[in-house]
């Protein structure tokens, strides 16, 4: 069941976009890979050089400042805030030493993933507002191929280890968690959980709780729900539909990055990682395209079925053995 934590994170990201805009994001798997690789770029080095840190910070701040359109650049106050934000972010990303690698990784990876989501929405999805939904869905396929090519061009096709869980173990977290004295129908007296699976499951639970509260009790969440029902009506009552859609894509990209980091830390970052998103597709369909709770439950169910298939039918490969039991 814990294996479904990553699937639930991926499914949540897909549902967030579909709930806000009605677009099924086929590029989510490659957004996972890109987010994980951005995290690795800041996590794996002893210190980030000034020019890359500044350019990255400037891009992130630029995407945030222009969230509501290019005219925001005409506001001197926003420009000052952007300059200060760029300087502060550059300083954080340049913190030296291994003691800061987790902070560098999470700040750089999180903001980089959010900026990637904003860029995808700004340059590919926003120009298609008013067009048939199928056009935007096909655009996500094109975005996935572009991200595939960019990640190969920058990082290559080799597997890249991501020892993020080794750092967590160094700060005191155990490698495995065990429960003794458990009497189950399988006659198991000791259950052992890997740290990677526990972390992924906890992240999925926290994300689920956070987004349930977000959609029910925050103005942005309520605005996203209204936008999903009818974009034209939402805009007519004063809601900033463009900003709401951009925020949805940023949140989804951030969730994709978290899933990519969790899975990449458990295995490695490779061009096969986006295939993990295919397991989230039945999870989304099982739970409902616009249901946050359904995405969480669907991911857990898919993970449970996959693990049971592995244990009940050890001769079958996990990649193929679970699918007939999901779709039939």
Which domain does 236 fall in, by range? 4-47+95-171+191-327
| Position 256 in a domain | yes
Q: What is the pTM of this model?
A: 0.84
Q: How many domains does the chain have?
A: 1
Whole-number Å distance between alpha carbons of 7 and 298: 8
82 has a pLDDT exceeding 50? yes
pLDDT in tens, 134-189: 899 999 999 999 999 999 999 988 888 888 877 766 665 555 555 554 444 344 44
Nearest to 202 by CA among 167, 180, 173, 182: 173
Which 3-state string (H, E, C) describes 291-320? CHHHHHHHHHHHHHHHHHHHHHCCCCCHHH
327 has a pLDDT exceeding 50? no
Give the pLDDT confidence score for residue 172 in this predicted structure.
Answer: 59
Q: What's the full length of the chain, in residues?
A: 328
Whole-number Å distance between alpha carbons of 61 and 55: 10
| Position 33 in a domain | yes
Burial degree of 298 (CB within 10 A; 0-12, 13-18, 19+): buried
| Position 228 in a domain | yes
pLDDT in tens, 162-176: 888 777 666 655 555
Alpha-carbon Rg of the chain, whole angstroms?
Answer: 20
Give the pLDDT confidence score for residue 189 in this predicted structure.
Answer: 45
Which 3-state string (H, E, C) describes the chain? CCCHHHHHHHHHHHHHHHHHHCCCCCCHHHHHHHHHHHHHHHHCCCCCCHHHHHHHHHHHHHHHHCCCCHHHHHCHHHHHHHHHHHHHHHHHHCCCCHHHHHHHHHHHHHHHHHHHHHHHHHHHHHHHCCCCHHHHHHHHHHHHHHHHHHHHHHHCCCCECCCHHHHHHHCCCCCEEEEECCCCCCCCCEEEEEHHHHHHHHHHHHHHHHHHHHHHHCHHHHHHHHHHHCHHHHHHCCCCHHHHHHHHHHHHHHHHHHHHHHHHHHCCECCCHHHHHHHHHHHHHHHCCCCHHHHHHHHHHHHHHHHHHHHHCCCCCHHHHCHHHHHC
Tokens of 53: 């840190």
| Position 223 in a domain | yes
| Position 106 in a domain | yes
| Position 133 in a domain | yes
56 has a pLDDT exceeding 80? yes
**What residues contact residue 207 under an 8 Å CB cut-off, 6+ apart?**
8, 9, 12, 255, 258
| Position 85 in a domain | no
Give the pLDDT confidence score for residue 117 in this predicted structure.
Answer: 94
Domain of 231, CATH number, reads 1.10.3470
| Position 17 in a domain | yes
Nearest to 277 by CA among 3, 9, 37: 9
Lowest-confidence pick of 192-206, 258-272, 283-297: 192-206
């Amino acid at each position: 069941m814990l294996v479904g934590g990553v699937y639930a994170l991926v499914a949540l990201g897909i549902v967030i976009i579909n709930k806000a805009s009605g677009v099924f994001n086929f590029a989510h798997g490659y957004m996972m890979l890109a987010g994980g690789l951005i995290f690795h770029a800041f996590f794996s080095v002893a210190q980030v050089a000034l020019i890359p840190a500044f350019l990255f910070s400037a891009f992130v701040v630029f995407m945030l400042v222009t969230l509501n359109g290019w005219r925001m650049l005409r506001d001197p106050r926003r420009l000052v805030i952007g300059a200060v934000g760029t300087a502060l972010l550059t300083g954080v990303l340049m913190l030296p030493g291994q003691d800061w690698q987790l902070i560098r990784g999470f700040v750089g990876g999180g903001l980089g993933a959010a900026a990637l989501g904003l860029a995808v929405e700004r340059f590919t999805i926003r120009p298609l507002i008013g067009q048939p939904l199928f056009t935007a869905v096909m655009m996500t396929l094109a975005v996935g191929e572009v991200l595939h090519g960019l990640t190969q061009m920058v990082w290559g096709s080799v597997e890249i280890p991501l020892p993020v869980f080794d750092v967590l173990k160094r700060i005191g977290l155990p490698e495995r968690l065990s429960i003794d004295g458990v009497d189950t129908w399988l006659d198991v007296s000791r259950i052992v959980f890997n740290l990677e699976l526990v972390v992924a499951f906890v992240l999925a639970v926290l994300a689920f709780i956070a987004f349930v509260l977000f959609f029910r009790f925050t103005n942005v969440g309520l605005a996203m729900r209204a936008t999903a029902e009818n974009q034209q009506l939402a805009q007519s009552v004063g809601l900033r539909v463009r900003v709401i859609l951009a925020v949805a894509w940023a949140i989804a990209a951030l969730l994709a990055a978290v899933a990519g980091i969790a899975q990449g830390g458990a295995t490695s970052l490779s061009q096969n990682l986006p295939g993990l998103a295919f397991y989230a597709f039945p999870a989304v369909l099982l739970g409902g395209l616009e249901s946050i709770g359904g995405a969480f439950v669907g991911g857990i169910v898919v993970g449970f079925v996959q693990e049971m298939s592995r244990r009940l039918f050890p001769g079958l490969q996990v990649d193929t053995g679970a699918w007939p039991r999901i779709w039939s």
